[in-house]
Structure 1
Amino acid sequence: MASANTKEIYGSLVFNEHVMKERLPSATYKSLKATLQRGAALDLDLANIVASVMRDWAIENGATHYTHWFQPLTGITSEKHDSFLSPNKDGTAIMEFSGKELVKGESDASSFPNGGLRATAEARGYTAWDPTSYAFIKDGTLCIPTAFCSWTGEALDKKTPLLRSMKAVTSQAKRILHLFGKDVSHVDVTVGPEQEYFLIKKEHYEAREDLILTGRTLFGAAPSKGQEMEEHYFGALREEVSAFMKDLDEELWKLGVSAKTKHNEVAPCQHELAPIFDRCNVAVDHNLLTMEMMKKLAPKHGLVCLLHEKPFEGVNGSGKHNNWSLSAPGMNLLDPGDTPKDNLQFLIFLAAIIKAVDEYNDLLRMSIVGAGNEHRLGGNEAPPAIVSIFMGEVLEGILDAIASGSEYVAPAAAKIDLGVEVLPQFAKDDTDRNRTSPFAFTGNKFEFRMPGSSVNISDANTVLNTAVAKELKGYADELEQAEDFDKAVVKLIKRTIRDHKRVIFNGNGYSREWEEEAARRGLHNEPSACEALGAFVDPKNIALFEQMGVLNEAECRSRYEVKLENYAKVRHIEAVTMLEMARRQLVPAASRYMGDIAKGMNRKKTACPGISCKAEEKVLRQLTNYTDAMSDAADRLEACVEKAERCEGALATARCYHDVVLPAMSDLRAAADAAESICGAEYWPLPSYSTMLFYV
């Protein structure tokens, strides 16, 4: 049960600014703050003082070990635990933790995915403290958020390029603000990731090899009822789900994760948690913690948390809506204000984002690819694979007026009257929401709705930050030379809208008409993950990363290789899991059922010669056909997997898994699902969709 005093537990396991201010010597605290604001490296003497105080605080809160908590290219977090304990010669021990151990650690750089950056024999890698993301205590261990790089200096993680991209967008945004007469100390990228997930009963999960090994159901006939009644969305929480959410909230609050909103999502057994916005790298760290805690705490309530993008076919998949904005002290740079048409500062940042999304929509599409997301995009409330921007009628009207040089006439402010005196009237928003848009403006932020539920959102934010930084740089370079600043700004906004309006689309992103229109506009549409990944090594995009100091060419190519290899590995695991389940579970189950039916028929005929066995014969024929089809499909799938494994090169292998293995998997599933629909329920070895999604 959640604590009665949430304020007391919030951040209680975090070495945050409040703790630092309270415990560090005043001079040390001021020096640390100044160092962080300058973006400089910590002096070792300063680091030693911080480490000593951090150790004492951690031990007081039950920690016995410390770890550098980092984000390798696996997409999840990694940690190696070391004890504070240091034995003395007399048999006693002291607790030690130095500044050197705080700021730097060592790990094996070749054992993690690296895309060829490190050979097996080249093992040394380093972790480096990210002091802008607070250390925290988890399971009795002091966790220090860190970056991870190789001995030769290449980034081997997802945090390092994210921090570089944040630095790039900050420096260029400050240049733009300076031109508007506003010299600010910093500009922050802020992110609020909404996390969708499924909860199913632990006993059902443990009975399905596919869920255990792949995170999704590889087999499963459609239930009689899905989500068509729409009663689950925002519905009352199941008792065990409510208890889990309360437990999750409390554990996250202790870790300083500002979990704010929780509710049932559209699909049965699907839910969502949304936090308050935070600085981009902190928001990413907190989201990774959130996913970890979801999976850890669910079994305590007899549940299992599924973070796969499409664990159940035929119902909504799970995404991670990445709400992204820019802020400076006292300002949200994406707030249109009361009169956005007169707000040049807002419009220049808006124009830069529009241009960035248009110029690099292939790169944004690439940033969210994955085997799981490939199943999700394009329907059931997931956006399509075509990247476009939803602006809403009012903002689009303003942009059109600016581009054409015409006068914009704002619609009269509308009120909504519900026709009942006791209910209040309220102002109507300027625009509706568009659930089919991949990148939607929602008042004072953009909601990037394409990332999948299981991913580390560093990739998406790194690309977005870098692309926007590049366009802001181009604007600043041009405007700094302008003789008439206001006229130059208007001219720049006009040109941007005229040249990049093709990426703005307010309609139905699911429609066939939009696919055709997007093709006419020249927008990228790569439904296949392995084809979309090609954007990573496009010379134009490599040049972008190198120009903005985010990734060099070798780092880009390594990540391309890692993502292709990951795609192929996921598909391989899914395919061989299907083969094992079909041959060792499903075909034998169907055969047992048919054998018992045949025995029953013989008993009927013996007891009453000439009696009709039409129903039994019909089931036998149908199930025999489906079982034969399953067996044949399994043989074809096995041959397809062998073909894929013979391919040379990461791209060829990934393509073969997509083009050859996936269709064979679909054929096997179709045969098995048809068999399930007529096999006796007590014979079928897998919990059905109805059982899993509508448990009581």
Structure 2
Amino acid sequence: MSTLRFKALAELPFRDYRRDNAIEVPAKLSELYCSNVFSEDTMKQYLTKDAFTFLLDAMNKGSKIPRNIADQVAVAMKDWAMSKGATHYTHWFQPLTGATAEKHDSFFTPLEGGKAIERFAGGMLIQQEPDASSFPNGGIRNTFEARGYTAWDPTSPAFIMGTTLCIPSIFISYTGETLDYKAPLLRALHSIDEAATSVMQYFDKSITKVTPTLGWEQEYFLIDSALYKSRPDLVLTGKTLLGHSPAKGQQLDDHYFGSIPTRVMNYMKEVEIECMKLGIPVTTRHNEVAPNQFELAPMFEEANVAVDHNSLLMDIMARIAHKHHFNVLFHEKPFAGVNGSGKHNNWSLSTDKGENLLSPGKNPKKNLQFLTYFVNTIKAVHDYADMLRAAIASASNDHRLGANEAPPAIISVFIGSQLYNVLMELEKVTEGKLSPDEKTDLKLNVVGKIPEILLDNTDRNRTSPFAFTGNKFEIRAVGSSANCAETMIVMNAIVAKQLKDFKVEVEALIESGLKKDEAIFNILREYIKDSKNIMFEGDGYSDDWAKEAEKRGLNNLRTTPEALASELDQKFVDLYADLEIFTHREVEARNEIKLEKYSTVIDIEARVLADIARNHIIPSALNYQNRLIENVKGLKEIFPDDEFRVLAKEQMSLIANISGNVSTIKLGVENLLEAKGKARDTAGSQTQAEAYCKDVIPFFETIRTAADNLEMMVDDELWPLTKYREMLFTR
């Protein structure tokens, strides 16, 4: 009874979480909104009119801020932050570790004569120099070249966390290459703004800016901290490497959208309060499908701010969880046998007039505008599907993709049968000039009916990795632990490229004598023909779809190494270079980082599994087996041979089964460690990742199956690991 498991379980009844962590929520959460954000309203209060205008132009147009204006902004930020209790500042950035990073510096500055002041100048605001030596770089720089720079991103507002003013920033190397997610995201957003705004001139010449929007949905698990700490695999890998499914899991669907437990509700309330203060517009909370699984989602925001807010939220959630004696799990598949967690990315485009370009209007012109962006998006996903697949690839997401709670690894597009029929009608458009009757028929019977179709098109397809859901595209395959920027960089880059190509092709037809609408219809018709193979309305989980997808020429990149191998396709590398999002060197470096991370994650999991199997599972099984052997010896001393054989039969069988499973684990661990050693010594990141995938991972299941068998045999009081039924049903 001295194991971590029993100590953790014994601790639970003596803590009254409902009383100790009750949260008082203001009558109006809106009163807290942006109270810790250097928002436009705050800027107006603290900045001169000229400084405010310059900063607004930098935020909306990307214009440069003069040094004297930067000094004014810095002083204003400092005064505001200090009025809120801040003592330090930091350039808050998102390196390629998957987490956020920050280096705090004090406003405090000593002066001669034993005096001091609080100082924060424009140079401190614009740039900081953190040590870059230990951040992932993919070979861009050597270890001894430690210098890296963070630079202020004025398009994402500064905020206060605790007593620190946080300034959202990009992170670059000494030689100028990007070492983070934000810099390439900003470049991708600039590219799609240019391309989409250019195309908008066909429909509304007054539009001067198009902004991508993002609405993410964050799924997560909450586990009691004491139980979490009793599982070495959860602590070190974020997932359970062993554990037999409980008798009751999610079979009854009684957790989904059910009543939120009081303890969890207190946690959610505090998270929402902090989100409001930091300007994160969270509006949705609910139980998810798996036990102890939940979801949180905000309103749509500009994509760059939304990415920052999601990264910030994950940090907030982890910090607040500790106050409520929880640990929050963002791993895509922390528990076998129940649903994993995703982070659906809902993407759309909005004009500077607030118009959603993926929503039809009330007249044929607006509906043609909708079709233009709609079809171009599908064409972009068709042509660059493998780029999108690589963007969601990770060791943890491999466990989730294709299971019953997540889309398959095959990238397909679901638009609904009625919209599909509209596209099939457009495919029949006559090549070249349209007759008056054809124009009328198109506008009234095809394009004109789109709003009615979308009004009734309420169906959703959970099995599609890329689905149109009425006025946006939902990228369902993104993993819960991922940085949204990875997918948003790809999504905005490929659509930007596609819209640029579209503009060139339409202009060529107009120059040949076709009218604008005729030229647009002609090009859209060809795009529909080209993209038909990626549109799929059926069950993405079925074996039939995998076969059909192969016939259609769609790739099924089941694993991360497969997906990342495609990332270096020259077509994809050139796209990034043409749009000036990544250089060839940066693409290769990032690919290297992802491969190294994949191999490292599998290596750590293998070492943890071997340790638990050898030092926890086998000793407990042998301990119980020895008890059985002693009992059998006692029976043999008491009963005659005939009776003994009958009475000891089940125990003898159990002893044999324990021996068999222990042998399987022992041999499995030896094979696992041998395969891991060979994989680790394999030259080349791609080859190494493939070795971990093909030669190491298969032993995980062999060891787990045997260990889970033992869990159902060994006396509960001797089993060392906290069980699923204990972790997943804590209230």
Q: TM-score range by the shorter chain?
A: over 0.9
- 1-side partners of 2:598 and 2:362: how far apart? 47
Q: What does the per-residue CA deviation read over 1:202-231, in whole Å, with 9 as the maximum and x for residues that have no partner? A: 111110000000000000112112211111
The correspondence for 2:587, drawn from 536, 551, 556, is: 556
The Cα of 1:501 is off from its aligned counterpart by: 1.2
- 1-side partners of 2:670 and 2:123: how far apart? 57
The Cα of 1:608 is off from its aligned counterpart by: 5.3
Q: What does the per-residue CA deviation read over 1:366-396, in whole Å, with 9 as the maximum and x for residues that have no partner? A: 0000000000000222000011111111211
Aligned to 1:353: 377
Structure 2: gaps spanning 5 or more residues: 1-22, 430-437
> Per the alignment, in what secondary structure is the counterpart of residue 195 of structure 1?
strand
**Contact 1:590–1:623, Cα closer than 8 Å, also in 2:** yes
Q: Evaluate the alpha carbon distance shift between residue 449 and residue 339 of structure 1 in structure 2; reply closer, same or farther with a 3 A threshold.
A: farther
> Per the alignment, in what secondary structure is the counterpart of residue 68 of structure 2?
helix
Matched, 1:498 2:525: no
- 2-side partners of 1:550 and 1:211: how far apart? 37
The correspondence for 1:104, drawn from 121, 127, 132, is: 127
The correspondence for 1:652, drawn from 687, 707, 727, is: 687
- 1-side partners of 2:58 and 2:306: how far apart? 22
- 2-side partners of 1:678 and 1:412: how far apart? 66
Matched, 1:584 2:615: yes
Aligned to 1:667: 702
Aligned to 2:216: 193
Letter in 2 for 1:429: D
Letter in 2 for 1:77: T
- 2-side partners of 1:534 and 1:606: how far apart? 65
- 2-side partners of 1:527 and 1:320: how far apart? 19
- 1-side partners of 2:228 and 2:657: how far apart? 29
The Cα of 1:583 is off from its aligned counterpart by: 0.7
Question: What does 1:531-542 align with in structure 2 at a 5 Å threshold?
Answer: 531-542=562-573
The Cα of 1:100 is off from its aligned counterpart by: 0.5
The correspondence for 1:373, drawn from 397, 403, 407, is: 397
TM-score, scaled to structure 1: 0.96
Aligned to 2:506: 479
Q: What does the per-residue CA deviation read over 1:170-198, in whole Å, with 9 as the maximum and x for residues that have no partner? A: 00111011122333231110000000000
The Cα of 1:40 is off from its aligned counterpart by: 1.8
The correspondence for 2:308, drawn from 285, 289, 313, is: 285
Aligned to 1:49: 72
Return 497-506 or 613-622, whichever deviates more: 613-622
Matched, 1:622 2:657: yes
Letter in 2 for 1:637: L
**Contact 2:58–2:155, Cα closer than 8 Å, also in 1:** no
Letter in 2 for 1:396: Y
The Cα of 1:644 is off from its aligned counterpart by: 0.7
Aligned to 1:518: 549
> Per the alignment, in what secondary structure is the counterpart of residue 286 of structure 2?
strand
**Contact 1:179–1:480, Cα closer than 8 Å, also in 2:** no
> Per the alignment, in what secondary structure is the counterpart of residue 331 of structure 2?
coil
> Per the alignment, in what secondary structure is the counterpart of residue 399 of structure 2?
helix
Provide runs of 4+ in structure 1 moved above 6 Å: 339-342, 410-413
- 2-side partners of 1:411 and 1:476: how far apart? 21
Letter in 2 for 1:383: P
Question: What does 1:386-397 align with in structure 2 at a 5 Å threshold?
Answer: 386-397=410-421
Question: What does 1:398-409 align with in structure 2 at a 5 Å threshold?
Answer: 398-405=422-429
- 1-side partners of 2:706 and 2:381: how far apart? 42
- 2-side partners of 1:339 and 1:385: how far apart? 38
Matched, 1:529 2:532: no
**Contact 1:67–1:79, Cα closer than 8 Å, also in 2:** yes
Matched, 1:684 2:719: yes
- 1-side partners of 2:240 and 2:505: how far apart? 53
**Contact 1:341–1:398, Cα closer than 8 Å, also in 2:** no
Return 591-600 or 649-658, whichever deviates more: 591-600
> Per the alignment, in what secondary structure is the counterpart of residue 212 of structure 2?
strand
The Cα of 1:669 is off from its aligned counterpart by: 1.0
**Contact 2:60–2:155, Cα closer than 8 Å, also in 1:** no
> Per the alignment, in what secondary structure is the counterpart of residue 18 of structure 1?
helix
The Cα of 1:39 is off from its aligned counterpart by: 1.1
The Cα of 1:511 is off from its aligned counterpart by: 0.7
Matched, 1:65 2:88: yes
Structure 1: gaps spanning 5 or more residues: 414-426
- 2-side partners of 1:31 and 1:130: how far apart? 14
- 2-side partners of 1:460 and 1:537: how far apart? 16
**Contact 2:33–2:277, Cα closer than 8 Å, also in 1:** yes
Matched, 1:469 2:499: no
**Contact 1:340–1:347, Cα closer than 8 Å, also in 2:** no
**Contact 2:387–2:567, Cα closer than 8 Å, also in 1:** yes
**Contact 2:364–2:447, Cα closer than 8 Å, also in 1:** no
Count residues in correspondence. 683
Aligned to 1:330: 354
Aligned to 2:435: none
The Cα of 1:410 is off from its aligned counterpart by: 7.4
Identity rate, percent: 45
The Cα of 1:9 is off from its aligned counterpart by: 1.3
Question: What does 1:158-169 align with in structure 2 at a 5 Å threshold?
Answer: 158-169=181-192
Aligned to 2:340: 317
- 1-side partners of 2:48 and 2:127: how far apart? 23
The Cα of 1:465 is off from its aligned counterpart by: 0.3
Aligned to 1:424: none
> Per the alignment, in what secondary structure is the counterpart of residue 537 of structure 1?
coil
Q: Give the root-mean-square deviation of aligned CA atoms.
A: 1.8
TM-score, scaled to structure 2: 0.91
- 1-side partners of 2:506 and 2:681: how far apart? 55
The correspondence for 2:576, drawn from 545, 552, 563, is: 545
> Per the alignment, in what secondary structure is the counterpart of residue 204 of structure 2?
coil
Aligned to 1:261: 284
- 2-side partners of 1:309 and 1:459: how far apart? 16
The Cα of 1:284 is off from its aligned counterpart by: 0.5
Question: What does 1:134-173 align with in structure 2 at a 5 Å threshold?
Answer: 134-173=157-196
> Per the alignment, in what secondary structure is the counterpart of residue 107 of structure 1?
coil
**Contact 1:125–1:148, Cα closer than 8 Å, also in 2:** yes
Q: What does the per-residue CA deviation read over 1:421-469, in whole Å, with 9 as the maximum and x for residues that have no partner? A: xxxxxx9722411111100000110000011000101110100100000
**Contact 2:55–2:154, Cα closer than 8 Å, also in 1:** no
Return 117-126 or 437-446, whichever deviates more: 117-126
The Cα of 1:671 is off from its aligned counterpart by: 1.1
The correspondence for 1:114, drawn from 132, 137, 150, is: 137
Aligned to 2:478: 451
> Per the alignment, in what secondary structure is the counterpart of residue 48 of structure 1?
helix
- 2-side partners of 1:167 and 1:114: how far apart? 24
